[in-house]
Amino acid sequence: AGNGARVVSTWDFGVGANQAAWKVLATGGSALDAVEAGARWAESDLCNPTVGHCGNPDRDGVLTLDSSIMDGDGRCGSVAALSDILHPVSVARRVMEQTPHVMLVGEGARQFAVQQGFESRKLLTPEAENAWREWLKTEHYAPQINAERRGRPGDKDNHDTLGILAIDAKGRMAGACTTSGMAFKMHGRVGDSPIIGAGLYVDNEVGAATASGMGEEMIRNAASFLVVELMRQGRSPADACREAIERVVHKRPEASRTLQVCFLAMNRNGEVGAYALHRGFVYAVCDSRRQDALLRVGRDS
């Protein structure tokens, strides 16, 4: 399709997510269907210790998933601390479409998913359980900067979320975000990914933004909303992401030395930009010209 459709995703596994989304966009499908398809791909990816099925558990050994989805017309839905359901992004979409609410959490979210026909089953993989048992030996919780990713599987990076943004042939935008959150987080901890405005924000009139990295910093700064509002004021996607990073640093200069924060944005014209606090952030772009582009962004801290 030589249409103006485009999809962008965080991290190297974003290439696969984009390709799943592109199948929808290339045949004239909606941005909303595309981002859901891309996020579902990541959630079933058997090599990813930070999203969906193969995610690492919390410090109590429980795998809890966070996800959100947002349409450019302002509709949105999310789930947080959801257990035993393979596709949280699809549950988030049901929350958006089938309930008067935006967000369901924990056991209530799981019960809703089951009512909606999702299968409930234990998801923790043997690898994730081993990683957790290993972690229990020291119980040392120290999220680290995503230094250069070392390739997968076997990659030990503690945090990587799939954030995916799309614009379809009709110029409609949508986004989704899905993650198992920080490995070995406190039980009940919710990150930015399911919080509309923190890990994800989409507005057809302006553009869309998503975040990856230390979720607490995104929540503190309403960061994805901030990126979209900066674009509304006329910044390019890249400039908006850079300015949002500067805000994070300004608020917590000390913490910023050791935390990673990454933003990815696309405006309503399909222009893409990204920025990260530290080196190592990559993002994937897919449109009618290229389906597997992976771009690097970042700077030395």
Tokens of residue 23, six digits = 């199948």
Span from 105-113, 130-138, 175-183, 249-257 in contact with ligand SD4 (CB under 6 A) = 175-183
CB of 68 to ligand SD4, least distance (A): 11
Task: Kindly list the distances between the CA atom of residue 289 and the CA atoms of 12, 22, 26, 248, 265, in Å, as whole numbers in the listed order.
Answer: 19, 12, 11, 35, 19
Tokens of residue 59, six digits = 């410090």
Report residue 86 CA to chain centroid gap: 16
| Given the residues 10, 50, 64, 161, the one annotated as active site | 161
What residues numbered 189-208 form the site for ligand SD4, per CB under 6 A? 191-193
CB of 200 to ligand SD4, least distance (A): 10
CB of 292 to ligand SD4, least distance (A): 21
What would the DSSP string read from start to end of 163-214? Answer: EEEEE-TTS-EEEEEEE--STTPPTT---STTSBTTTEEEETTTEEEEEEE-
Per CB under 6 A, does 78 bind ligand SD4? no
Q: Report phi then psi at 110, rounded to 5.
A: -65, -45
CB of 30 to ligand SD4, least distance (A): 25
Q: Which of 57, 181, 273, 280 binds ligand SD4 (CB under 6 A)?
A: 181
Number of neighbouring beta carbons within 10 Å of residue 153? 10
Span from 84-92, 111-119, 178-186, 285-293 in contact with ligand SD4 (CB under 6 A) = 178-186
CB of 191 to ligand SD4, least distance (A): 2
* Cis upstream peptide for 100 (omega within 30°): no
Would you give the binding string for ligand SD4 spanning residues 223-262, x where CB under 6 A is met?
----------------------------------------
Per CB under 6 A, does 212 bind ligand SD4? yes
Q: Are 180 and 53 in contact (CB under 8 A)?
A: no
Number of neighbouring beta carbons within 10 Å of residue 95? 26
Span from 91-99, 125-133, 186-194, 238-246 in contact with ligand SD4 (CB under 6 A) = 186-194
Per CB under 6 A, does 213 bind ligand SD4? yes
Q: Which of 243, 248, 253 is nearest to 275 (CA)?
A: 243
Residue type present at position 245: I
Q: Are 200 and 68 in contact (CB under 8 A)?
A: yes
Residue type present at position 35: V
Nearer to ligand SD4, 5 or 198 (CB): 198
Is 161 a residue of the active site?
Answer: yes
Span from 41-49, 85-93, 107-115, 213-221 in contact with ligand SD4 (CB under 6 A) = 213-221
What residues numbered 29-58 form the site for ligand SD4, per CB under 6 A? none
Binding site for ligand SD4 (CB under 6 A): 159-161, 179, 181-182, 191-193, 212-215
Q: Which residues are catalytic?
A: 161
